[in-house]
A and B are shown apart, each in its own frame.
Chain A
């Protein structure tokens, strides 16, 4: 290091001094995500309180109903923790890691869908598949919104240098959390219904997260301009 004295330029010094005070350090993502646990629990249990548990639940057993949904909720919180980590400068995930996470979610939900279908094949018979699909897609997406909004607020409190990736991750987590609840009372296990609507809603939630994160960044002026 050079011995030359480096002075802070006056304009920068006055800008810093104007707003210099003790700041409360942001807690670690693993701790911050715990604040979302009650909301994630509500997202999981809310639907089954309002509607009834899916008709084929006894045939599927605990593992393919509550067990899988609990795993999905836990994974959702873990993904949101990753998003909160990603929103901190210097701790961003590589693009490959973000893609891998999305791939793992899709892979897991696809395996669960196929396994559920093989144990209890139920198809939409009396109602219009399009109408049921619309309900499940919209319902899952709307259920994901509170979790997504809360995660977005938490991520916005950091300083996301790559808003798209943190947004995509918390959107993915929120979507997965919502699916954990919806799969418990949706009676249809037909992959032709589950893939485009339930899994489609998870992807749509991820896209929504990306858009929300970008919009929040612009609103808060996080995009620095010189």
Chain B
């Protein structure tokens, strides 16, 4: 009975979201992020990876929201998208370079002030706590001056995903520096 009420609530939220209500998206995120994260964590066995994929899943949900039919439950629709995101990530992972070769990076001048600051040990220590993917996006954008499009192309990801990584990395870096 409770499941049916919850399912109906999710359907109503999806309809409101399709009509353009951001509040409905927030409620949907609150209700669905947990199950999606749980599924992705069990699939990837990597919490950090799963967390990235949760964000990507919700971006894809946003993109595909017109395909949802309120005549059917929300959960299978959401999990199908999550599964798709996971499979595509797994497929591209093997092709994704683990690091950027120096000789392949476009030549850009590094701002002297940024370079000096980065040599500081606290920043280096904080950077080590940021995940590798986020660190690459963050440094390439803010230090090397790459555009998100260039970063996306380098890692085989979309521009929005590169932006997401960079901003998540920056938030994490800020948190780490504030702790110190």
Q: Residues on A close to B: CB < 8 A?
A: 1-2, 5-12, 15-17, 19-26, 28, 88-92, 158-159, 161-162, 221, 223-226
Main secondary structure of the interface of B (DSSP, over half): helix
Asked if B127 is at the interface of the complex by the 8 Å CB criterion, the answer is: no
Other 9 A-B pairs with CB < 8 A, given A88-B67, A161-B81, A225-B88: A8-B58, A10-B167, A15-B62, A21-B20, A23-B20, A88-B69, A158-B67, A225-B156, A226-B157
B63 within 8 A of partner (CB): yes
CA distance A161 to B77 in the complex (A): 10
Taken together as a complex, chains A and B put the C-alpha atoms of A15 and B68 apart, in Å, by: 20
* Chain B neighbourhood of A158, CB < 8 A: 64, 67
A23-B66, A161-B80, A225-B92 are contacts. A11–B163 as well, Cβ < 8 Å?
yes
**Complex alpha-carbon distance, A26 and B68, angstroms:** 8
With A and B bound together, what is the CA distance between A159 and B167 in angstroms?
27
Which residues of chain B come closer than 8 Å to A20, judged between CB atoms?
A: 20, 22, 25
A90 and B77 CA atoms in complex are apart in Å by 4
Determine the distance from Cα of A90 to Cα of B69 in the docked complex, in whole angstroms: 10
Please name 21 pairs of A and B residues whose Cβ atoms are closer than 8 Å in the assembled complex, sorted by A: A1-B34, A11-B163, A12-B164, A15-B163, A16-B59, A20-B25, A21-B20, A24-B66, A25-B66, A25-B68, A26-B67, A26-B69, A88-B77, A89-B67, A89-B84, A90-B80, A223-B91, A225-B88, A225-B89, A226-B56, A226-B89
B residues whose Cβ falls under 8 Å from a Cβ of A: 6, 18-20, 22, 25-26, 29-31, 33-34, 52-53, 55-56, 58-60, 62-72, 76-81, 83-85, 88-89, 91-92, 156-158, 160-161, 163-164, 167-168, 171
Residues of B within 8 A of A7 (CB): 26
Bound form: Cα–Cα A21–B18 in Å? 8
Minimum CB distance partner of A9 in chain B: B55
Q: Is the CB of B164 within 8 A of A225?
A: no
Q: How far is the CB of B36 from chain A (nearest CB, A)?
A: 11
Q: Find chain B residues with CB under 8 A from A2 CB.
A: 34
